[in-house]
Amino acid sequence: MILFLAYLAVVLSLSSALLALLIRQQAVLATGFVKARDKGVRLPPAVEKFLVDALSPTRFQSRLQQLVFLCLGLAGLSAILSGLSVLVSDSIVRDQLVLGLPWLPWHVRLDSLSGFFYLIIGLAVAAVSLFGPGYVKDYDEQEDSFTVLGLFTGIFIAGMFMVLLADDAFFFMIAWELMSVASYFLVSFQHQEAANRRAAFLYLIMAEVGAIAIILGFGVIAGFSADYSFTFDAFRDTDLSVTWASVAFILALLGFGMKAGLVPIHVWLPEAHPVAPSHISALMSGVMLKVALYGFIRFCFELLGDIQWEWGVVLLVIGALSSLGGIFYAMMQNNLKRLLAYSSVENIGVIFMVLGLSMIFLDQGHPEIAALGFMAALFHAFNHALFKNLLFLGAGVIQHQVHSLNIDDMGGLIKRMPHTSKLFLVACMSIASLPLFNGFVSEWLAFQTALRVDVIDNAVLRSLIPVAAAALALTAALAAACFVNVYGVMFLGLPRSRHAEKAEETQDKGMLAALSLLAGLCFLVGVIPGMVISLLNNVSIQIIGNALPNVAAVNWFWLAPVSAEQASYAAPLVLFGVLLVGGVSFWYLRRNSALEFKRTETWDCGYGGLNNRMQYNSVAFMMPFRRIFANVWELDEKIDKKSSDVPQQVSEIRYQLQVDDHSWRWIYNPIERLVYGIARIIGRLQTGNIRIYLAYSFVTLIFLLWVVS
């Protein structure tokens, strides 16, 4: 049953892909339908009526699009169901498909870990399926065709599901690459812009490199497996020498990290996510990165055998680098989706940091704390999936209404788009990890893990982990600043452009429904984290082999993972408190209706003429940070003043800011130059002169003869 649901998810997403192919076949279908009727095929009148309506040239496109997304939605639902049921029943389902190599059929396995990620993907896909129809409604089939979009969306989602199902290296790689390739097409979807093409190319190449690293990693394990079979079961009971295991670990980190977007192999992410359609970038950023995370966990915690604490340290460092780097670069962006992409880098960094913690604790012999860290990581993955989807979909709505993604073109949207603005606020509060929202809970758990450092004996780790905690704290604070900026500049203040002035709330119920769903989940999980955590318990029992130190104290009300007197958090109580105090003070102060406040002009120091150019925009907002952390970015600031005839008076001043990523200058451009240089050198071999070619063959012959004799 569980397996059936799991397969159903894959099949449904694939079928949505196939349905999308029909979008241009309206005429064919209609005639076929008419023929069938003439043939005397009788349908129930309701169905017939619906078909007649749906096949009419005017309606067909929107109807089919709705159908496609309906399929996706059902896929998402079945994924949620199967994920939940496997988590609750804490069972392991296995199967084999008749596909693949003659001696290596596709092995399928659904356990708590993959079930959990199934749940994540299912939620995201469900939301997207609500969001999609409204978003793609007015696509011009000629310009950017829905055929391509729908087709590859379906394949992409199916690929992600298959990655979770895979239980042998071959199937895993196929599913993995399917996911990558499909998303590549989605990135290059609107390929009229050169930027999109560039992003797609970068993405494809890095995906390929990552896949190669992963294959190599699997190969290393397989090299030591008993009968050289590539099933994960065989991997599970091979034990590698520490050296080889570490090699495999590094390869996996490279491969999966490249997909997850760890610094410095993150550069494809801020390029690719902004250019894809919003609901796709929501899936890529919110979910695909999690699939990479899943692969990494599966690889390191399960297939690789014993964990080494050094790996944990590596993760800690890389994670800290990514989280800080990600948020720093996010702060400097003014393209909303680019900003969100960078903040994904940050969150992934946080997740990997906490994973590193749990690795360290595991190797140091404290599995219960390792379990705590592991859960913190998974929980944060879950939360990130929720609020990052919400943010990207919100960005989609805004792009749809404001026709821009530059946050400095917006402003004042809170009045023009009331619903969206509220939902977006929820997302911002979650990602800024404020209490009562889900982001806070996972961060809280992360801190709890870090604070258990005193059980460790190793002095290096004892001093390293607090530093990591400090980095984590700084990251959180920066994230809050970053999203205050985002929300403030986009939704508050005066409109900064005519687009923003004209903007109005979307009329599409589906879009808002998707946003509300996610926002609701963010809040619910934030207030009642216990439910998710109790699900996660099974996962950590399966992977780490240990539950929370204090499962009993984890219920809907209390959250005391370690022990009640050591640390506890009762979000419902806090919520109650906030409502109480807020309500009372509100009631008390508003009781006197004579004191109803009055609206007047904004105070303008008596000069008058406040306009929207006087308020802070994101560049101005971030100025102090640019000053303080100047070396983090490759800043290129230009200020050119035109001084007027009056001395010491500036008639016109223009400010330009260019923020670049260090990794390009230090890593990627050199590589490209290297490859091209080598190519040029080797090109010299082929002079075009036939006599030289003859000489080649002559020399080769002589050489080989000399070799053999």
Partner 1 sequence: MNWIFAFIQTLLFIVLAPLLVGWVKWWKCRLQNRKAPSLLQPYRDLLKLTHKQPVVSHTASWLFIATPYIVFSAMILAASVVPLISIDLPTAASADVIVLVGFFAIARFFQALAGMDVGTAFGGMGASREMTVSTLAEPAMLMAIFTLTMAASSTNLASAIGYVLDQGMVLRPSFVFALFAMILVAIAETGRIPVDNPATHLELTMIHEAMILEYSGRHLALIEWASAIKLMLYGVLISNIFFPWGIAVDFAPSALGTALLWLLLKLAVLAVFLAITETALAKMRLFRVQEFLSFAYLLGLLGLLSHIILEASR
Partner 2 sequence: MIAAYLLLLMPLVGVVFFALFGHRPRIGRINIKFNAFALLMSFWLALNVHKSGTLVSEGLYFLVDSFNVYLIVLTAFVGLTTSIFSAPYMRHEQQKGRLTEKRLRLYYSMYQGFMFAMYLVLTTNNMGILWVAMEAATLATVLLVSLYRTPESIEAAWKYFILCGVGIAQAMFGTVLLYYAAMQISDAENALNWTVLIENASQLNPEIMEISFVFMLVGYGTKIGLVPLHNWLPDAHSEGPTPMSAVLSGLLLNDALYAVVRNKMIVDGTTQTNIAGYLMMGFGLLSFLVAAIFLHRQQDIKRLFSYSSVEHMGLMTFAFGMGTPFSTFAALLHMTVHSLTKSAIFVTVGHAAQIAGTQQIDKIRGLIKTQPSVGWGLLIGTLAIAGFPPFGVFTSEFLVLLATMQSYPWLTPFLLLGIGLACAGLFRNIQPMVYGKRPEGQQAVEANLWPVIIHLVLVLWLGLSIPQSLSDWFNQTTILISGSAPL
Partner 3 sequence: MELIKLDFYTQGVLSIAALIGLTSFLMLGQGRLLRLIFVFALQGLLLVLATALAGYSMENSHLYISAAITLVLKVFLIPWMLQKQVYKLNLHRDVETLKNSTAVMLGGATLVVFSYYVLHPVIQNSSVVLVNALAVGLSLVLLGMLLMISRHHAIAHVVGFMSIENGLFFAAIVSTRGMPMVVELGIAFDVLVAAILFGIFFLHISSSIDSLDVDQMNRLNEVDQ
- Scanning residues 521 to 580, which ones bind partner 2 (CB under 8 A)? none
Tell me: does residue 683 bind partner 3 (CB under 8 A).
yes
Tell me: does residue 705 bind partner 3 (CB under 8 A).
yes
Report how far residue 698's alpha carbon sits from residue 708's, in angstroms, rounded to the nearest whole number: 16
Q: Which two tokens stand for residue 24?
A: 């241009």
Q: Taking the complex as a whole, how short is the minimal distance between the CB of residue 690 and partner 3, in angstroms?
A: 5
Tell me: does residue 684 bind partner 3 (CB under 8 A).
yes
Return the one option of partner 1, partner 2, partner 3, none that residue 98 interacts with (CB less than 5 to 8 A, by type): partner 2
Q: Which residue has the tokens 């190319």?
A: 201
Buried b (16+ CB within 10 A) or exposed e, 259-269: bbbbbbbbbbb
Do 177 and 211 form a contact (C-beta atoms < 8 A)? Answer: yes
Give the nearer residue to partner 2 in terms of CB position, either 201 or 556: 201
Report how far residue 379's alpha carbon sits from residue 91's, in angstroms, rounded to the nearest whole number: 20
Q: Which two tokens stand for residue 292?
A: 């990479």
Binding mask 21-60 for partner 2 (x = CB under 8 A): ----------------------------------------
Return the one option of partner 2, partner 3, partner 1, none that residue 230 interacts with (CB less than 5 to 8 A, by type): partner 2
Give bridge partners of residue 74 from the DSSP assignment: none
Report how far residue 486's alpha carbon sits from residue 489's, in angstroms, rounded to the nearest whole number: 5
* Neighbouring residues of 466: CB distance < 8 A, sequence distance ≥ 6: 450, 453
Give bridge partners of residue 554 from the DSSP assignment: 559
The piece of 208-216, 374-382, 449-457, 684-692 that touches partner 3 (CB under 8 A) is 684-692
Do 390 and 427 form a contact (C-beta atoms < 8 A)? Answer: yes
The piece of 275-283, 502-510, 539-547, 701-709 that touches partner 3 (CB under 8 A) is 701-709
- Binding-site member from 192, 507, 593, 602 for partner 2 (CB under 8 A): 192
- Scanning residues 625 to 684, which ones bind partner 2 (CB under 8 A)? 675-676, 678-680, 682-683
The piece of 242-250, 503-511, 558-566, 696-704 that touches partner 3 (CB under 8 A) is 696-704
Report how far residue 2's alpha carbon sits from residue 117's, in angstroms, rounded to the nearest whole number: 15
Give the nearer residue to partner 3 in terms of CB position, either 507 or 697: 697
- Binding-site member from 223, 545, 577, 670 for partner 2 (CB under 8 A): 223
Q: Which two tokens stand for residue 159?
A: 């690929």
Q: Taking the complex as a whole, how short is the minimal distance between the CB of residue 700 and partner 3, in angstroms?
A: 11
What is the crossing angle of helices 2-20 and 112-136, to 10°?
30
Give the nearer residue to partner 1 in terms of CB position, either 597 or 706: 597
Q: Taking the complex as a whole, how short is the minimal distance between the CB of residue 200 and partner 3, in angstroms?
A: 27
Tell me: does residue 97 bind partner 3 (CB under 8 A).
no
What DSSP line would sit under 56-69, residue for residue?
SHHHHHHHHHHHHH
**DSSP-derived 3-state class of residue 92:** coil
Q: Taking the complex as a whole, how short is the minimal distance between the CB of residue 376 and partner 1, in angstroms?
A: 13
Return the one option of partner 3, partner 1, partner 2, none that residue 602 interacts with (CB less than 5 to 8 A, by type): partner 1
- Scanning residues 172 to 191, which ones bind partner 2 (CB under 8 A)? 173-174, 177-178, 180-181, 188, 191
Strands 93-101 vs 650-660: parallel, antiparallel or unpaired:
unpaired
Tell me: does residue 693 bind partner 2 (CB under 8 A).
yes
Q: Taking the complex as a whole, how short is the minimal distance between the CB of residue 707 and partner 2, in angstroms?
A: 8
Tell me: does residue 170 bind partner 2 (CB under 8 A).
yes
Widest CA span in the chain: 111
Q: Which residue has the tokens 């990693």?
A: 217
Tell me: does residue 687 bind partner 3 (CB under 8 A).
yes
Return the one option of partner 2, partner 3, partner 1, none that residue 684 interacts with (CB less than 5 to 8 A, by type): partner 3
Q: Taking the complex as a whole, how short is the minimal distance between the CB of residue 57 and partner 2, in angstroms?
A: 21
Q: Which residue has the tokens 């370690």?
A: 562
From residue 313, give the alpha-carbon distance in Å to each of 319, 334, 357, 368, 466: 10, 34, 8, 19, 12
Return the one option of partner 1, partner 3, partner 2, none that residue 170 interacts with (CB less than 5 to 8 A, by type): partner 2
Tell me: does residue 707 bind partner 3 (CB under 8 A).
no
Return the one option of partner 2, partner 1, partner 3, none that residue 596 interacts with (CB less than 5 to 8 A, by type): partner 1
Tell me: does residue 576 bind partner 3 (CB under 8 A).
no
- Binding-site member from 587, 601, 697, 703 for partner 3 (CB under 8 A): 697
Q: Which two tokens stand for residue 393?
A: 């979909």
CB atoms within 10 A of CB 241: 9
How many residues touch partner 2 under the rule CB under 8 A: the total is 53
Give the nearer residue to partner 2 in terms of CB position, either 185 or 437: 185
Tell me: does residue 686 bind partner 3 (CB under 8 A).
yes
Q: Taking the complex as a whole, how short is the minimal distance between the CB of residue 146 and partner 3, in angstroms?
A: 43
- Binding-site member from 646, 688, 700, 703 for partner 3 (CB under 8 A): 688
Tell me: does residue 100 bind partner 2 (CB under 8 A).
yes
Residue 265's closest CA among 292, 299, 295? Answer: 292
Backbone φ and ψ of 458, nearest 5°: -60, 120
Do 8 and 118 form a contact (C-beta atoms < 8 A)? Answer: no
The piece of 255-263, 398-406, 465-473, 678-686 that touches partner 3 (CB under 8 A) is 678-686
Q: Which two tokens stand for residue 457?
A: 């004996």
351 dihedral zone (left: phi>0; alpha: psi -120 to 50; beta): alpha
* Neighbouring residues of 560: CB distance < 8 A, sequence distance ≥ 6: 550, 553, 554, 566, 567, 568, 569
Q: Taking the complex as a whole, how short is the minimal distance between the CB of residue 674 and partner 3, in angstroms?
A: 17
What is the crossing angle of helices 146-165 and 2-20, to 10°?
160
Q: Please give the sequence-ordered ranges of beta strands (E in DSSP) within 525-577, or none if there are none.
A: none
Q: Which two tokens stand for residue 76?
A: 């998402």
Report how far residue 224's alpha carbon sits from residue 70's, in angstroms, rounded to the nearest whole number: 46
Residue 27's closest CA among 50, 61, 66? Answer: 61
Q: Taking the complex as a whole, how short is the minimal distance between the CB of residue 683 and partner 3, in angstroms?
A: 4
Tell me: does residue 689 bind partner 3 (CB under 8 A).
yes
Tell me: does residue 25 bind partner 3 (CB under 8 A).
no
Tell me: does residue 654 bind partner 3 (CB under 8 A).
no
Binding mask 208-227 for partner 3 (x = CB under 8 A): --------------------
Do 306 and 245 form a contact (C-beta atoms < 8 A)? Answer: yes
- Binding-site member from 46, 589, 646, 690 for partner 3 (CB under 8 A): 690
The piece of 113-121, 308-316, 459-467, 686-694 that touches partner 3 (CB under 8 A) is 686-694
Residues written for the chain:
709
- Binding-site member from 383, 698, 700, 703 for partner 3 (CB under 8 A): 698
From residue 643, give the alpha-carbon distance in Å to each of 649, 650, 652, 653, 654: 6, 4, 7, 8, 12
How many residues touch partner 3 under the rule CB under 8 A: the total is 20
Do 532 and 379 form a contact (C-beta atoms < 8 A)? Answer: yes
Give the nearer residue to partner 1 in terms of CB position, either 243 or 602: 602
Report how far residue 473's alpha carbon sits from residue 479's, in angstroms, rounded to the nearest whole number: 10
Return the one option of partner 1, partner 2, partner 3, none that residue 678 interacts with (CB less than 5 to 8 A, by type): partner 2
Report how far residue 336's alpha carbon sits from residue 581's, in angstroms, rounded to the nearest whole number: 35
Residues that bind partner 3 (CB under 8 A): 680, 682-691, 694-695, 697-698, 701-702, 705-706, 709
Residues that bind partner 2 (CB under 8 A): 98-103, 170, 173-174, 177-178, 180-181, 188, 191-192, 194, 197, 200-201, 204-205, 208-209, 212, 215-216, 219, 222-223, 228, 230, 675-676, 678-680, 682-683, 685-686, 690, 693-694, 696-697, 700-701, 704-705, 707-709
